[in-house]
Chain A
Amino acid sequence: MTLYIHELKRGKPALIIWTAVLSFMLGLCILIYPEMAAQIDEVSAIFSDMGSFSAAFGMDQLSFGEFGGYFGIECGNTLGIGGGLFAALLGISALAQEEGDRTAEFLLCHPVSRMYVFRQKLAAVLTRILIHNLLVAVLSLGAMAVIGESLGAKTLLLLFGSYTLMELEIACLTFALSAYLRKNSLAIGLALAMGLYFGNLLSNLVEELKFLKYLSPYAYTDPAYILNEGSLPWKYLLTGAVLSIIALTPAAIHYRRKDIL
């Protein structure tokens, strides 16, 4: 547990900043809803009538006139992009940063195995994501209470749960990449997160690219599906879990054997 606790302490400032910024943005989105609702007919018509753009973001299937639709699209994108980037940054820097900052030698000269380091660091990354999402959800619920809106416990659980799972998958994928890198390459992590995000948008637009939904964790944060079906798209979720395991297993084997330069 020593390394796990050390990692949580070390990651506390970033966790606080990202949680504060995302909660603020999300809170702001929620708090301006009453203003938006006043002009809802006009806004709804504009957003649902933007052709491919509307389809890409699922705006053709949700109504801006309802808080659920508004929250799913506006807040979902904020949480999707922001949370995805946060998860990517945590994952990509977890192992590679030790080598880049030359702290790997300090760490690995102690009587700990590489697998211990891999497991504890992964657990710390996933824990930070869980804490981050829990805090964002609580603060968002607070903002909803202020404007007197709610989506019901099940819908909220599914929405916030889907973003948490999406972030966990991105963290697993970037963490796995981190095992192969020798220095902290934030750009690679951010590019991967953005690639997955836009991959999902493209899959909404182009029929031939529907298969990207199986690769992108953003596929199971689709607010239209969650709100209309009242459940998560389990087939994408399952693929995501399998992808994470497939990425992490060879990464663990590689990290166990890699030269620490």
Chain B
Amino acid sequence: MNAIETKQLTKFYGCHRAIEAVDLEVAEGDFFGFIGPNGAGKSTTIRTLLGFLRPTSGEARIFGKAVGGNQPDILSDIGYLPSESGYYDKMKVSELLKLSAELRRKDCRQEGKLLCERLDLDPTRKIRELSLGNRKKLGIICALQHKPRLYILDEPTSGLDPLIQKEFYSILQERNRDGATVFLSSHVLSEIGRYCKTAAVISKGSILACDRVEKLGHRDVKRVILRGVEKLPQIPHGRDLHLEGDTLRFLYSGDGKSLLSHLSQINFEDLTITDPDLEEIFLHYYAKEAEA
């Protein structure tokens, strides 16, 4: 069963298109990354999945249940971390965690305490006194303490220091190994590359690519490095050409035979062809979209 499934999911705010015809399938047990720049439609997609926004057209399902139907039933399976959220500032951390657990009708005291310890958050502190990073930790604990089947995390690590980020991902990996599905949005590509099994790239409200993370790097683009080059050559289908000293680097999106044919006309000493890293792929997709 898919944990998340959207079909032609579209949301307009008046005339402004936020997302259009978004098709996503996130299998149960997956660790799914949702990559896109600011304003690409990541949060709109997520907020539509949670029922905060009503889609203009299309549909979304969580564990096979239609979003917008019995929403409390759907939400009981989800742990959600918003990218920016307010909390009741006059409450203490422990009080908010208690309120969250009570709204879920679950006893999460043990797990909440453990997560506070692992993420180094003092439960006795007032929320209004918390730094941005500590507020993020509070949101994470609220999303995790009831051990849901599906985690939907919108930009989860912004504001967290590297040590806490590591601990946070370690917790997510544990939950994922236990069978939970993780769906997280980010524009930090290294995170997606390091932790996610599957990823989708979204830009200007549309999905540009969706595949296993390792396969995304094997798409129709290669990183080519030539050494011993004297001047910047013309390479059809070459992009992002940089000549530093005698080293030429570029991304190539044509077929292999043509590349070799072009290279045969250039003088060089050494050739390296590799898969680009996720960041380069990401930029490549955006460049392709811009051309279109």
Question: A residues touching B (Cβ–Cβ < 8 Å)?
Answer: 2-3, 6, 10, 101-114, 116, 257, 259-261
Contact = CB atoms under 8 A, between A and B. Distances in A.
Contact of B52 (A6, A111, A113, A259): A259
B285 to A, nearest CB: 28
Contact of A102 (B71, B78, B80, B85): B85
A105 B82 contact: yes
B227 interface: no
Interface string B96-117: 0001101111000000000000
A108 B52 contact: yes
Chain B interface extent, by class: 20 to 34
Contacts of A114: 71
Interface in B156-208: none
B52 A106 contact: no
B124 to A, nearest CB: 18
Contacts of B242: none
Interface in B10-55: 47, 50-54
Contacts of A102: 84-86
Q: Which residue among A3, A108, A114 has the maximum number of chain B CB atoms within 10 Å of its CB?
A: A108
A109 B78 contact: yes
Contacts of B104: 110-111
A141 B201 CA distance: 69
A102 B86 CA distance: 5
A106 B142 contact: yes
A110 B142 CA distance: 10
Contacts of A109: 50, 75, 78, 80, 82
A20 to B, nearest CB: 19
Contacts of B99: 2, 6
24 contacts: A2-B103, A3-B103, A10-B88, A101-B86, A102-B85, A102-B86, A103-B86, A103-B87, A106-B85, A106-B86, A106-B87, A106-B100, A106-B142, A109-B78, A109-B80, A110-B100, A110-B103, A111-B71, A111-B76, A111-B104, A112-B75, A113-B71, A116-B72, A257-B54
Given A2-B102, A10-B90, A110-B104, A105 B52 contact: yes
A21 to B, nearest CB: 20
Contact of B73 (A2, A10, A103, A111): A111
